[in-house]
Chain A
């Protein structure tokens, strides 16, 4: 079965530090990898995404690093803020309009 794995399940980081969230996948046909963020009591929303043609994608304090050979991605959040506290989901798609979701990482940023 296609799987997307995330680690750690939960993470606590001090304000101002860099947060690193990890994601790995198995299926070589995946070519698009979005990260969604879900605040408590809210619905998931797209944060940042990367495709197979790129090794890195930046958007402000958020950066995806992509190691295609090892089938691993990581989401880096620099200068982490308490407002970044949320659950982060990594997902993958093979172009069929479906997303395969990881189980999420719950992030807490302490002031």
Chain B
């Protein structure tokens, strides 16, 4: 069973403070993703990574940085948190596998609820 964990699960931060969200996966997947989920917007991609040392910008990268120091770990960093970054953040890992045609599944962590006051 795929395993993606996130920490912390809940976080309250002050405006202008630095926030680091951590993600760990034991699936040995190459690809990892950070999403935020807000009502009415579904899942929006912030940053992603193809492997250790790589980070790529997603659709909404402004105000966020990412770090992938190893295959297992992927962090999301908010250097100067703002109230507009209050959201639920999901980390996911994924890789390509065949089932008679190429398929692709992303496995999600339990999410981190971030509140910026």
Interface residues in B4-46 by Cβ distance below 8 A to A read 31, 40-45
Known: A32-B102, A34-B104, A34-B105. A43 touches B110 (CB 8 A): yes
Q: Is A7 an interface residue (CB 8 A)?
A: no
Contact residues in A for B44 (Cβ distance below 8 Å): 101
Complex contact B111–A102 (CB within 8 A): no
Interface residues in B80-113 by Cβ distance below 8 A to A read 90, 94-96, 101-106, 108-111
Complex contact A104–B42 (CB within 8 A): yes
Residues of B within 8 A of A (CB): 31, 40-45, 48, 50, 90, 94-96, 101-106, 108-111
Interface residues in A71-111 by Cβ distance below 8 A to B read 89, 93, 95, 97-99, 101-104
> Chain A at the B interface: mostly helix, strand, loop or mixed?
loop
Task: With both chains docked as a complex, state the minimum distance between the C-beta of B43 and any C-beta of chain A, in angstroms.
Answer: 5
Complex contact A51–B102 (CB within 8 A): yes
Q: Which of B31, B40, B109 contacts A43 (CB 8 A)?
A: B109
Interface size of A by Cβ–Cβ distance < 8 Å? 21
Cα A45 to Cα B111 with chains together (Å): 13
Q: Which of B90, B101, B111 contacts A53 (CB 8 A)?
A: B101
Cα A43 to Cα B96 with chains together (Å): 20
Cα A45 to Cα B41 with chains together (Å): 17
Q: Could you show 29 A-B contacts with beta carbons less than 8 Å apart?
A: A32-B102, A32-B103, A32-B104, A34-B104, A42-B110, A43-B90, A43-B109, A43-B111, A46-B105, A49-B103, A49-B105, A51-B101, A51-B102, A53-B101, A54-B101, A89-B43, A93-B104, A95-B104, A97-B31, A97-B94, A97-B96, A98-B45, A99-B104, A99-B106, A101-B44, A103-B40, A103-B41, A103-B42, A104-B42
